[in-house]
Structure 1
Amino acid sequence: MAMLSTLWKNVWLQHGQLVFDQDFFQSIQNYVAENSTSAQSDVERWCSFLSRNGIEELTLHLFVLRSMFKLPICIFSCHTIKRLKLDSLIVDFPANAPCIFPGVTSLVFDSVELNGVASTIPNLEKLAFLGDCEGMDKFQIIAPKLESLCHISGYSGFEPTWFAVQLNRIKTLCLSGGSFLWRRDIVTAVLNSSTTAINLQVMELHDLSFSCELQISTAMTLLQKSPNLCELGIGAAMARAQYEEDTLNHLEDPDHYFINQDMKMLKTVKIDGFNGSRLEVLFIKSVFSKCPALERVVIHPAWSIIDALMGMNILRELACFPRASPNAQLVFLEHESTYNLVGYNVIDEY
């Protein structure tokens, strides 16, 4: 604790939570600049102390002066950490380690650099990739207890075969349409896989473009592989009329562009940022006709269609459309921009 005043020597022991993040390091930039060779060793000393003294939740955000620190090796073997978030770090997985992060149940990577292939994380239940995570396409951990997988990252995503395997066990899936859903190899791997997302109950698709055939193809493939899905949340990307017309002109069968089989367990569908495009309306009609257990379709419109007349025209068209479920309700709400797509915030759950 050489960077801190001696007045802090005993004060910090009285607190249950300690935060050594970007703000902390910015306040001591001059020290780090003058002692750059010792900064990494200081981080390692702090982490070593914490790992020996029963720490259960740890967030490391250590991006300082355009340089990235390496995750100290002691964290990989710490048995007490249960919730771990690594932000702006270099993570060099230890070679030939049979087990890493042995006690971790929730793991978040945010804008990290991943090097090497991880081994088994025995108790991991929730895994998330946020920001720009380099090397995640080579990330092939074994996590027998994994239940929740999240990818809201600028990078293109997981290794396809590994992802297809995870679909067999997870209950919650959160993906970004702006990067992950562009992957044709993901569609191929999922379709060729003999496994089904039999346990998947909640799916969130952020920044999904209804006019992009590749994104929709990937998304609908995932839906078809999820027979027990109960809740679907979609954050719609801004509609582009030209792209929508091109897509509609290429459709051989508009009625089967989206869901082409019954989703027997789907009860709730929520669309945030609804633009009122023809493809979005077509999707909702597909949900109405293919979901016999449907209870609610919730629409949060984008600012661009607050116009009351347009909203009423859409409501009138959808209200008259036949529904497979006699209990299905259409809920049209005022604009609300949120990551909380399906009843709770998946990202905050990590």
Structure 2
Amino acid sequence: MIVFFLFGSIIRTMMGKSSETTATEGDMEDRISSLPRNVIDLILDRVPIRDAARASLLSSKWRYVLAEYPHLRFNQQFSNAIARNRLPSEFNNDYVHIVNRILLQHFGPILKFVLDLPELHPMRLSDVDQWMLFLSRKGVRELTFDNSSSSPYKLPAYIFSFSELTYLKTSRCIFRPPTTFEGFSKLNRLILVEITFGSSVLNVPQLVILILRNCSGVHHLNVSAPQLQKLTLYENDYLALDNYMICKKLAYAYLALPNGIQQHRQGERISLQELFGCWNTLTNAYLDGRFLKYLAAGIIPGRLPTTMDCLRQLMLFRISFDLDQTACILCLLQSSLCLQKFEIWIESVADNDVTVLNYLEEPSRTNQTIDGLQTVKIRYFKGSKPEVLFIKLLLSCAPSLEKIYIEEDEKLLLNERLRIAKELMRFSRASTKAEMMFQPLNSAST
């Protein structure tokens, strides 16, 4: 913090103060200017780029510091500072002018570039294209391009020539690589949010992390990522799991579907057995209830043919305890021999679904064992019969269970809470250490 205060003092000194103040702060300027270059780079990495630019314009000692600095961040703080006290038309011109000036004065590589693109007049987007062309010659390794405007920005072909990229994050863009695009050979992290895909083949042999959120045209996307370890597919318009079935190193999966997709192209769905038979290296799985229904193709076995020996944490959300979901949940629990932590978020439950109640009360259910499970958290607990029977089953089948945290829905009345708590406390337990803890929603967690 002292260093950043000194940097602010430099700018105030150069902007003109009293002679006494200037002399004092001039000493501060000398002190910070004489710091090693790597320390100065750390300072620049943490101060607004506009302040750094002003320092470089006003001081001969700092004239080339920003021009050589390999990390440039034009974030929301930067655009907000320019927008202050300006009309929209003035902002468009001044924003583009300032970014142009900083880029044109820069020499040397730019290893990290961040652009939070504000709402610009469509005619100004050609300037953004030129910025991308400029960057394509700078050896960029980490690129963040977040589009805050109301219209998607079509990524120019130049971006697909960034051969040194190891990290790419972009949002609200149109993603259409040229037909000659051979992939990002060094990319290991890829985050795409609200992206519209055209025909896209992504060959990313070093990719470790892939996140696709709220994307459309996903059926046009063909991904080859044999080294993938972390996969997030969140509410995209299509579920193309075939691309990821060969990912033998996958350890983390976060899969959630939007409403209606479970009815899409039913004949091509992948079953629970097929998916987890391929993903037997998973350690963490986060699945929503719609995805579980998607997997419930055909008969759900009591246990998978291939056990999930690596799975340590399982989180399920948007759960309604219909028959498909319930069968999938119990299958996963009984197939995960080393599962330690299980969390479930309840969305809505039909209290008197006879098929579910009969399924949970079958005598054979209590003869099954859920090994390894130590901690359970149930959030938005509503006190329905399926929920109560599910907890009863966990207590009777989990010999290593230590704690069940039950976070009750705020709509559950006090007298109902007491009645349900008494009922749950009477259930027999396979583990002598098992404890149940009732707590309001959003209180201290495990």
Q: TM-score, normalised by structure 2?
A: 0.61
- Equivalent residues in 2 for 1:186-225, closer than 5 Å: 186=297, 188=299, 194-210=305-321, 212-225=322-335
Kindly indicate whether residue 207 of structure 2 is the aligned counterpart of residue 104 of structure 1.
yes
Kindly indicate whether residue 431 of structure 2 is the aligned counterpart of residue 318 of structure 1.
no
Matched with 2:123 is 34
- For residues 249 and 224 of structure 1, the distance between their equivalents in structure 2, rounded to whole angstroms, comes to 18
Q: CA separation of 1:244/1:79 partners in 2, compared to 1, >3 Å: closer, same or farther? A: same
- For residues 109 and 46 of structure 1, the distance between their equivalents in structure 2, rounded to whole angstroms, comes to 27
Q: CA separation of 1:190/1:217 partners in 2, compared to 1, >3 Å: closer, same or farther? A: closer
Contact 1:285–1:321 under 8 Å retained in 2? yes
- Equivalent residues in 2 for 1:1-350, closer than 5 Å: 3-5=96-98, 6-9=100-103, 18-21=113-116, 24-26=117-119, 28=120, 30=121, 33-34=122-123, 38=126, 41=129, 45=133, 48=136, 52-55=139-142, 58-62=143-147, 64-67=149-152, 69=154, 72-74=159-161, 77-91=183-197, 95=201, 100-112=203-215, 113-114=217-218, 115-119=220-224, 121-140=225-244, 142-154=246-258, 155-156=261-262, 159-160=269-270, 163-177=275-289, 179-183=290-294, 185-186=296-297, 188=299, 194-210=305-321, 212-239=322-349, 243-247=350-354, 251=358, 254-255=361-362, 261-305=368-412, 307-336=413-442
Question: What residue identity is the alignment partner of 2:231?
Answer: L
User: How far did 1:337 drift?
Assistant: 8.7
Q: CA separation of 1:191/1:35 partners in 2, compared to 1, >3 Å: closer, same or farther? A: farther
- For residues 314 and 327 of structure 2, the distance between their equivalents in structure 1, rounded to whole angstroms, comes to 16
Contact 2:378–2:407 under 8 Å retained in 1? yes
Q: CA separation of 1:217/1:14 partners in 2, compared to 1, >3 Å: closer, same or farther? A: same
Question: What residue identity is the alignment partner of 1:309?
Answer: N
User: How far did 1:73 drift?
Assistant: 3.2
- For residues 252 and 135 of structure 1, the distance between their equivalents in structure 2, rounded to whole angstroms, comes to 29
User: How far did 1:165 drift?
Assistant: 3.6
Alpha-carbon RMSD across the aligned residues, in angstroms, is 3.8
Contact 2:211–2:231 under 8 Å retained in 1? yes
Unaligned 5+ residue runs, structure 2? 1-73, 75-94, 166-181
User: How far did 1:122 drift?
Assistant: 3.7
- For residues 46 and 332 of structure 1, the distance between their equivalents in structure 2, rounded to whole angstroms, comes to 58
Contact 1:40–1:69 under 8 Å retained in 2? no
Unaligned 5+ residue runs, structure 1? 344-350
Q: CA separation of 1:137/1:77 partners in 2, compared to 1, >3 Å: closer, same or farther? A: closer
User: How far did 1:328 drift?
Assistant: 0.6
Q: CA separation of 1:249/1:149 partners in 2, compared to 1, >3 Å: closer, same or farther? A: closer
Question: What residue identity is the alignment partner of 2:115?
Answer: F
Higher relative contact order (CA 8 A, sep 6+): 1
Q: Percent of aligned pairs with the same residue?
A: 22
Structure of greater Rg:
2
Aligned to 1:327, the other structure's residue is in SS state coil
Q: Choose between structure 1 and 2: higher helix proportion.
A: 2
Deviations 1:9-60 (A, max 9, x none): 3699999965434xx242x2x1xx2366x4895585377457x2332xx555
